[in-house]
Structure 1
Amino acid sequence: MSDWSEVVAGAIGGGLVIAVQMGKQKLDNFSDSKRIHSWLVSEFERIDDYKYRSTRAIAKAVNLTPERVATLCHNHPRIKHVLGTDDELWNLDGADHKKPKSHFFAG
């Protein structure tokens, strides 16, 4: 083999390794984000006066580090950050909340 073919083969191999690592990272992020979102939904359904959950509570429940939970929650489209607090608190964006059943029909 010539020197150039070894360089090209090395570059292709390196690119392939990077692509596989990026794919695995995206899959892990998707899986962990789904676990966090599912847990928040289950908490909302379980507790009547649910308002928000802290990063530490979420991390403990889904067995992830608080730093990872904060990063994934920041990037999740259906989880919102509760502003104006000292702790990092998270809530669902409202799309997952079930509307209360009304026994009165107005309209």
Structure 2
Amino acid sequence: YPEFFSYGFFTKAGPTRKQMEASSFQISFHGEGYTEDQDPSKGKPNAKIRTLVQGPECGYVATPIAMVQAALTVLNEPSALPKKGGVYTPGAAFAKSTFIDRLNKHGIQFSVV
């Protein structure tokens, strides 16, 4: 009973097309780490990065875009995916693929700011 317990904020019907077209998301990530020439065991992190990911409504629009592009990447770029191991995070699994480029082309933008 999502509508009852959320005082009408959530419903089983989901958002309207108009609501989805008016919605978007924007997430920024801040990271600290090491440059390739820095040995992590010999000092503090020596690099910082800030990235921004933005796109259309995340639940009904961006998620299917990401899932389809991930599937196409797996099908079309098997040589770019890890060969050994078990479960990978998306970042590790798609690091050497064109997955981010595919998302950028389909409205989910990744940028370093």
TM over 0.5, shorter chain: no
Larger radius of gyration: 1
Richer in helix (by share): 1
TM-score normalised by L of structure 1: 0.29
